[in-house]
Amino acid sequence: MEIDGFEGLLTPSGQEVLARAAEADTSEGGLLAAASRLRERYPAELVGAALTQVRLRVRAAAKFGPDAARMYFTPHGLEQSTRSAVAAYRAARFTGPVLELCCGIGADLAFRARAGVPGTGVDLDPLTVSVARANLAAFGVEDVASVRQGDALDQDPAGYAEVFADPGRRTARGRVFDPKSYEPPLDDLLGLAMKAPGACVKVAPGIPYEAIPEGASTEWISEDGDVKEAALWLGTLAEGPVRKATLLRGGEVHSLEPDPKTTVPPVRPWGRYLYEPDGAVIRAHLVGEAAALVEGGLADPRIAYITSDALVGTPYTAAYEIHEVLPFSVKRLKAALRAHDIGVLTLKKRGFAADLDKLRRDLRPAGSRPGTVVLTRIGEAPVALICGRP
């Protein structure tokens, strides 16, 4: 996507093309047909830019819901951007003014501005800056927040109450897991961010624990059971526990924090129920706290599956009723699935090396009931648990 083509979309004629493109059937064939029709009336570059935005908006609906239909994206910016539920949740913690480094397409900036928090976004890429400005205008908050082009590490936080940073964690080869390979590197970014009274740096949820700076409050965030990111809160924004798991579910916020009274979970035999902790709970090392909530323990001390004889409702774990536990073998498992009349099968694993797609083909369940098979191990012994939802 070229910047001239994108900025053409912001003109009256560009908005007209975009509106007509948005009415098209969004299947690949439908978009190709729309391209042919639109090119009869509008410049090809403008039509291409409009259809690119339509495709990106369709993909973005999973992150931004109805807001996606009025937002603007680049492919990389969409991948990197914060989901709307997370951005809205996090915005409430800032007071402003906020200097945002590596602001991308401006999602966090816009959601803070919608909450009345002023700020300035900075990004190195001219096209991304233009897209971010368009998003501020789309939300009607360009008088609260602004965007400028620049290198994140050249910025001066003086005069800002807080810094927010979202370093690049993707390259042409895919995701980046080493914080030293973030763009810019995490250590450099932290050094700059900590010059402000308060700061928050968004990082990958799998951040190595040794990369977390001393004094940071680290929050792992999941939405509807899927861990999305972690946030390093620093300075005046670091109020609260050293680690925290936050779950966003159905418009509600649930936070689990370390409990000084909680000890290491006991190791015990399988009970009637299996509890699978949310990924944010696992990353925040709060499995012990989750086990205490359900009166449970671990079947294996190295694997984060909780078992209990009590059925307890909690947002921090998913509960399954255990119907059978058996030593793992494909032949034995096939027989058990037939005995339990299971046909619609969900496979889960933890601490178990298996190709689930191949195993599903080998099992060929043909029953009439849904069921879940959990593959794990006790010590070195692989086991399979046949479960259902209670």
* pLDDT value, residue 40: 85
* pLDDT value, residue 340: 95
Which ranges in the chain belong to alpha helices (H)?
A: 3-8, 12-22, 28-39, 44-64, 75-80, 84-91, 107-114, 126-138, 186-193, 279-283, 287-293, 330-339, 356-363
The position carrying tokens 């009931």 is 369
DSSP string, 209-265: GGGSPTT-EEEEEEETTEEEEEEEEEETT--S-SEEEEEEETTEEEEE---TT--PP
CA atoms lying within 13 Å on the CB side of residue 184: 20
Q: Which helix (H) or strand (E) holds 327?
A: strand 317-327
* pLDDT value, residue 111: 96
CA atoms lying within 13 Å on the CB side of residue 311: 7
Are 313 and 389 a contacting pair, CB within 8 Å?
no
Residue type, 355: D
231, 250, 138: which is closest to 186 by C-alpha?
Answer: 231
* pLDDT in 10s for each residue of the chain, 390 residues: 789 889 999 999 999 989 988 887 777 777 778 888 888 888 888 888 998 999 999 999 999 999 999 999 999 999 999 999 999 999 999 998 999 999 999 999 999 999 999 999 999 999 999 999 999 999 999 999 999 999 999 999 999 999 999 998 876 667 778 899 899 999 999 999 999 999 999 999 999 999 999 889 999 999 988 998 999 999 999 977 899 999 999 889 999 999 888 778 899 999 999 999 999 999 999 999 999 999 999 999 999 999 999 999 999 999 999 999 999 999 999 999 999 999 999 999 999 988 999 999 999 998 999 999 999 999 999 999 999 988
* pLDDT value, residue 171: 67
Residue type, 211: A
- The sign of the dihedral angle between the CA atoms of 327, 328, 332, 336 is positive
Q: What does the alpha-carbon distance between residue 304 and residue 311 come to, in Å, rounded to a whole number?
A: 18
Residue range 77-255, CATH number: 3.40.50.150
- Which tokens hold the place of 208? 């190595």
202, 206, 210: which is closest to 234 by C-alpha?
Answer: 202
- The pTM for the full model equals 0.90
Q: What does each C-alpha distance from 281 to 83, 151, 240, 315 come to in angstroms?
A: 19, 35, 16, 11
